[in-house]
Amino acid sequence: MNRCFKDFGTFIRLHDGFNKPKIDFQQMYKLFPEFTFEPTREFGQYEHFGEAFENKNLSMIVTIGKYSCLMVYREYGDANENTAYIT
């Protein structure tokens, strides 16, 4: 992981797993004002709607200067679970 994203990666990992808090996007924007957040094409779409493992895709492309990463973030509807990581 690029040094630019070290603190951001730590923040994102705090939201990964069962019984973890959901990401508060407004708080995230305030904590990382130097970053640019761009929603992916699938942002806001559901997978497996009404089925087991239903999840909402809230992934974004995160940029600082000439560096970018993909923030993968999904909120699951059938359990108090999130998937959150950066690549």
- Boundaries of every domain in the chain: 3-86
Q: What is the pTM of this model?
A: 0.89
Q: For 31-51, what is the mean pLDDT?
A: 92
Residue 72 predicted with pLDDT over 70: yes
Residue-wise burial string across 36-64, b where 16 or more C-beta atoms lie within 10 A, e elsewhere: eeeebeeeeeeeeeeeeebbbbbbbebee
pLDDT at 1: 56
Sign, CA torsion 57/62/68/71: negative
10 Å CB burial of residue 32 (0-12, 13-18, 19+) is: middle
Residue 27 predicted with pLDDT over 90: yes
Closest CA to 62 of 43, 76, 81, 75: 43
